[in-house]
Structure 1
Amino acid sequence: MTLLITILGLVIGSFLNVCIYRIPKGKSVIYKPSNCTSCNTNLEILDLIPLISYILLRGKCRYCGEGIKVRYPLVEILTGGIFLITYLYIGFDVLLIKYLVLFSVLIVATFIDLDHQIIPNKLVFLIFTWGIIWQIFYPELFWYQSIGGAILGGGLLFLAAIISRGGMGGGDIKLMFAAGFILGISATALALFLSFLAGSIIGMVLILLRIKGRKDPIPFGPFLSLGIFIAALWGYEIIKLYLKLMF
């Protein structure tokens, strides 16, 4: 089963690459066939086998010879790994669907934010709608916990945006509002803490390596996605350990 889940993740990762490329351009992710972004040639099945095609083609389009971005196999591997980790933690349970979809959307949001410094509203709306559907038909939390998580997530980042005078983007605020609805109050607080911690560490490293300047913008969406991922799977254990150590 672990192999099947990993393969499914690789296949979904290939589709997520399409979403990452097309959504910011306003293109359909379903109706138009996959094509080379350099020569626009429609790709055949042999060109679209997740990870394997990239290796066999040596990272180049077989029609025009242009290099294929390493991001494409990276997203496939990342998605396959996340699917496997999520399955190993949750097991073969209906909630597996809930979190695989959430994490898939977060992967798309992460790479779009890295490329364009935006988090599209349609992705935020998808996460929020997904959370409402599960809250109605298969709730893990009380409604006050979901609503409180949304208010906490969006509210704290909105406050951060005011204090930093625009240093926090509107997409980040809306993303954390939607994710907070799924996570609940405690897990949302943990996700925010982990996001700011990871963002601070990576930001300092980038500045020390002179990859970024002190005033250069650094997309925060990837750090939010990381915090949400960790809090969604291990939030209860982390919070429980923290309380045990503190009290």
Structure 2
Amino acid sequence: MVVLGYLSWVDIKKREVPDWAVLALFIYSLFACRNLKEGFIIGGFVFITHLLVAIAASGSIGGGDIKLISVLAFLMGRDFFLITLSLAGLMLATLIYALVTGKGLRYSIPLVPYLFLSFLISWGCFFEG
């Protein structure tokens, strides 16, 4: 959680995701992952999916974001998909806000704070106790 909080702050301030922090999270994940096979399968699926989206819609998602999302998917395994529920809700709320206020869809937003908030929401809702 601390690394995600730090990366959120960096992403807001500098609009980048430092590789060393993602690598540190990945190394931690190797020891904390409950099921390595499941982690590699889901992490690989998430990586390929986001990479294809980034190629198809250039500029839509950065390489650091793709690496971070993949590492989170590796760490959490199938529980990662619980994050996507809150992530989709947060992104939808942002989309509605942008359309209602007239800001439109031409602005880029940092993704890591959304991941961090989604992680906190998912952790609070689904992983209590």
The answer to whether the superposition gives a TM-score over 0.5 is yes
Greater share of helix residues, 1 or 2?
Answer: 2
Over the matched positions of the two proteins, sequence identity in percent amounts to 23
Q: CA deviation at 1:119?
A: 0.9
Question: Whole-Å Cα distance in 2 between the matches of residues 128 and 110 of structure 1?
Answer: 17
Match of 1:190 in 2: 82
Structure ranking higher on relative contact order (CA contacts 8 Å, 6+ apart): 2
What SS is found at the alignment partner of 1:178?
helix
Q: Which runs of structure 2 are paired with 1:132-171 in the superposition (5 Å)?
A: 132-135=30-33, 141-171=34-64
Q: Do structure 1's residue 200 and structure 2's residue 92 form an aligned pair?
A: yes
Q: 1:116 aligns with which of 3, 7, 14?
A: 14
Structure 1, unmatched stretches of 5+, are 1-102, 136-140, 238-247
Question: Whole-Å Cα distance in 1 between the matches of residues 118 and 49 of structure 2?
Answer: 15
Q: TM-score, normalised by structure 2?
A: 0.83
RMSD of equivalent CA atoms: 2.2
Change (3 A) 1:114 1:171: same
Q: Is the 8 A contact 1:153 1:188 kept in 2?
A: no
Q: CA deviation at 1:191?
A: 1.8
Match of 2:28 in 1: 130
Q: Which amino acid letter does the alignment assign opposite residue 170 of structure 1?
A: G
Q: CA deviation at 1:232?
A: 4.5
Q: How many residues align?
A: 128
Q: Is the 8 A contact 1:150 1:178 kept in 2?
A: yes
Change (3 A) 1:149 1:233: farther
Question: Whole-Å Cα distance in 2 between the matches of residues 157 and 124 of structure 1?
Answer: 16
Match of 1:226 in 2: 117
Question: Whole-Å Cα distance in 1 between the matches of residues 50 and 76 of structure 2?
Answer: 16
Change (3 A) 1:171 1:196: farther
Q: CA deviation at 1:106?
A: 0.3
